Structure 1
Amino acid sequence: MHTAVRTEVHWIRGCRYCLTVVGDGPRDALLLHGFPDAPANMMGLAHGLAQRGWRVAVPYLRGYGLSESSPGADLSLAGLAADVGELLDALGFQHTLLVGHDWGSAVAQAVADGPRVAGVALLSVPPIPWLIAGLPRDPGQLRRSAYMGAFQVPGAVHALQATGGTYVDRLWRSWSPRFQASEAQLAAARRALAPPGALATALGYYRALWPRRPARWRASLAITNRPLPVPALVLGGTDDACIGPGFFRGDPTAAFAQRHQVTLIEGAGHFLPVEAPRAVLAAIDAFFGRPEGAQ
C-alpha cells in the first residue's frame, strides 16, 4: 500500500520549521524528537502510524537541522510549547495525538492543554512532576543527569563540536547500553546538530530550564506543576541509563487529570523510537485505538 509522503515548510514565530508529513488519514499525530536526535529516527513510528490510518507530521524542532532559530529566542518550555501550538495551527491539525521522545516528551507535556491536542504519548521522559518528586528517592539521577550541568558551562558548545560529533555516539551508547545503534541512526542525529547554531540552540533548551527572565520562569513553572489535562500514555525502558525506571511511578493525581497508562518496556534503553518501535506502536494502538475505518 502506497503511503503519501511530502515535505512542508512553515514560518512559526518568525523562524522556519521544516517537517515531513506521512499519510493522509482522518486522525492527526505530531511526532517530536529529542536530543541528541533527529526526525529521521522517528520515521519508523511515523510510517507505522500512517499505515494505521493517521496523518503524521514529523518536524525538526526549533534550531535543529533544517529548522531555524534566532538570537534571543525563547527556548523555555513555554516558548517551545508556543512553537508547537502555532505549528498545529499552520498544519490545520485537529484533535492531535502528540508523540514526544526525550525533549519531545517535555514539549508535548508543555503544549498538552492546547485546543488542538487530544492526547499525549510520552516516550522516555515521564511526567515532569514525577521527575521533580523522584529526585530525593534516587540520588543516582544526579549522576545520570550530570550532562545537563555540563551544558550550562561556557564553552560547552565548542567542546562538543571539537569531538567531531562523537559525543552523539557516546550519549547513545551510554543511555541505551544494550542497543547497537546503526551508523545511519547516529549519522542522522549528528547531521541534525551540525548546521551553524544548531548545537548552541539544542544546549539552549537545557539552559532555558532555569530562565533568567521572570516571566519565562513563571510560565514554565506553571507548565511543570500541573497534571496532564488529556489522556496520557507513558512509556519507558527498563534499561534506560539516562532517566532511571524508578521515575516512571509516582502520585497519579500530581501527573494526570484524565485516563492514563504507564508501561516499562523490558530490555529497552532510552531511544525507544528505534529500539522498540513495535512495542510503542502496539501500546499506542491499545491505548488510543486506531482511526475509525483503519485496518
Structure 2
Amino acid sequence: MFDHTFNRRRFLLSAATSAAALALADMAPAVAATPSVEAASKGSSGTVLPRLPIRQIRTDLLDVGYYEVGPETGRPVFLLHGFPYDIHSFVEVAPLLAAQGFRVIVPYLRGHGTTRFLDNATPRSGQQAALGQDVFDLMNALDIPEAVLAGFDWGARAACVAAALRPSRVVGLVSVNSYLIQNIAKAAQPLPAHLEQGLWFQYYFQTERGRAGLEANRRDIAKLLWNNNSPTWHFDDATFERAALAFDNPDYVDVVVHSYRHRLGQVAGAPDYEEQEKKLALIPALAVPSITFDGMADGVVPAADGSAQATRFTGPRSHRQLPGVGHNLPQEAPNVFADAVIELVKNGKWRT
C-alpha cells in the first residue's frame, strides 16, 4: 500500500516514466503534430519537461486533441482528465498500459488543450451529458466499439455517464471518487460546512465576478486548487506549467463556468443533451465492472469506505482507499491506477 514514502520517490519515477512515454509514442502511427503542444514546459527553476505529442480528429461537434500510444490492434483504453488538469495527469500511466499491449487514448476534454468546437454557434456546454457524449463521439471517430474508461474528476464523471447511458460500449470503469453522476435535483441541499468550504470555486463561478476572475487568473486559480486538492503532492513549477497550457483554450472559461452553473441548477443545459440529462436525473445504477478509488488525502472529496454508494453499482465493484494520495490520483499514484486498468482489461468480457 501507499504511504508518505511514495512522494519521496516520485521524482525518479516521474523522470523514468516520462522517458518511457516518449519512447512508446513511436509505437502509435505517425501524424502531424501540434507544435505548441509538443514544446517543452519550463518552470521557474529551469526544469524542462517534455510534452506528449498530440494528434487531432474530428467528431460531429469537436476537433479533439488527443495523445495515443500503444499498438493500434490492442485493447482500447480511454484515460480522461479532470478540471483543472490536462492529459499529462496520465503521463506515467499511459506508458505502463501501452507496455501491456493496450491501445491508450488520452483526449483533451472540451474547453482544454487543442480540443476545439467546429462551429462558433455550438453552445459551450460543460454539463455532464456533454462530457459523456464526447467520449462516444470520439470512440466513433476512431472506430472503437468498446473500451475500458478510466478517469478522475470531470473525466471520471464522463466515464460514469458513458457507463450509465451505453453500458454495452464500456467493458470496465475506473473512477476516482466512485459514482460521480450529479443529482442536480438535489443540488440545493447543503453539505456540512467543512465540505462546503472546499467547494468555494464552484460558488465563485456562479457569479460574473467569478467568470471574470477565471478569465484573468486561470493559472492562479488552478494552482490554488492543485495545492488544496492534493496537499501531500509536491509538484514542481514545470509540472504545473506543462498542464497549464491547456487552460489557454479559448473556450476554457465558458465551458468551466457552464459546468459549475449547470450542476447547481443555475442554468439550463444545451438542448441537444436533454434526453441524456433526463436519464441521468434518475441516478442510474452502473452495471459495468468497476474499480473505484478514494485518495485519503483528497482535499475535495473526503475518502469513504464505499458502502454508501454500494447500491449505485450493480455490477462487480472493488473500492480501494489510498493513504497519502490526493485528488489527482493518476499522477500521484500512477502504478496503482494503471494496475486497476490492467485488471479490468484482462478480466473484461470483450465482445469485439
Class of the TM-score when normalised by the shorter of the 2 chains: 0.7 to 0.9
Instruction: Point out the more displaced range, 21-30 or 277-286.
Output: 277-286
Q: Deviations over 1:5-63 (max 9, x none)?
A: 45432222332111111101521001111010011221211111111121000111112
* SS of structure 1 residue aligned to 2:257: helix
Instruction: Point out the more displaced range, 136-145 or 187-196.
Output: 136-145
The answer as to 2:328 corresponding to 1:276 is no
Are the counterparts in 1 of residues 218 and 247 from structure 2 also a CA contact under 8 Å?
no
* SS of structure 1 residue aligned to 2:96: helix
The answer as to 2:182 corresponding to 1:126 is no
* SS of structure 2 residue aligned to 1:246: coil
Aligned counterpart for 1:58 among listed residues 87, 93, 106: 106
Are the counterparts in 2 of residues 23 and 56 from structure 1 also a CA contact under 8 Å?
yes
Query: Post-superposition shift, 1:247?
Result: 7.8
The answer as to 2:339 corresponding to 1:285 is no
Give the number of equivalent residue pairs: 290
Q: One-letter code of the match for 2:66?
A: L
* SS of structure 1 residue aligned to 2:133: helix
1:291–1:218 distance in 2 versus 1, CA, 3 Å? closer
Are the counterparts in 1 of residues 172 and 348 from structure 2 also a CA contact under 8 Å?
no
The answer as to 2:133 corresponding to 1:82 is yes
Q: How does 1:42-191 map to 2 (within 5 A)?
A: 42-69=90-117, 70=120, 71-112=122-163, 113-114=165-166, 115-123=168-176, 125-128=177-180, 138-163=192-217, 165-191=219-245
Q: Which has the larger radius of gyration?
A: 2
Q: Deviations over 1:66-97 (max 9, x none)?
A: 00134524432112222211111111223300
Instruction: Point out the more displaced range, 141-150 or 28-37.
Output: 141-150
Per the alignment, residue 222 of structure 1 pairs with: 279
The answer as to 2:61 corresponding to 1:14 is yes
Q: One-letter code of the match for 2:237?
A: E
Q: One-letter code of the match for 2:56?
A: V
Question: What percent identity do the matched residue pairs reach?
Answer: 25
1:22–1:89 distance in 2 versus 1, CA, 3 Å? same
Are the counterparts in 1 of residues 125 and 254 from structure 2 also a CA contact under 8 Å?
no
Are the counterparts in 1 of residues 233 and 326 from structure 2 also a CA contact under 8 Å?
yes
1:18–1:251 distance in 2 versus 1, CA, 3 Å? closer
1:150–1:83 distance in 2 versus 1, CA, 3 Å? same
1:161–1:241 distance in 2 versus 1, CA, 3 Å? same
Structure 2: gaps (5+ residues): 1-19, 31-53
1:284–1:14 distance in 2 versus 1, CA, 3 Å? closer
CA distance in 1, matches of 2:68, 2:347: 18
Query: Post-superposition shift, 1:160?
Result: 2.6
Per the alignment, residue 206 of structure 1 pairs with: 260
* SS of structure 2 residue aligned to 1:128: coil
Q: One-letter code of the match for 1:267?
A: G
1:213–1:285 distance in 2 versus 1, CA, 3 Å? closer
* Aligned-pair Cα RMSD in Å: 2.8
1:67–1:87 distance in 2 versus 1, CA, 3 Å? same
Query: Post-superposition shift, 1:127?
Result: 0.4
CA distance in 2, matches of 1:256, 1:158: 39
Instruction: Point out the more displaced range, 273-282 or 70-79.
Output: 70-79
CA distance in 1, matches of 2:124, 2:222: 24
Q: Deviations over 1:143-197 (max 9, x none)?
A: 2222211111113232133336122111111111111112232112311111323
Per the alignment, residue 13 of structure 2 pairs with: none
CA distance in 1, matches of 2:347, 2:136: 24
Are the counterparts in 1 of residues 91 and 331 from structure 2 also a CA contact under 8 Å?
no
Are the counterparts in 2 of residues 13 and 83 from structure 1 also a CA contact under 8 Å?
no
* SS of structure 2 residue aligned to 1:41: helix
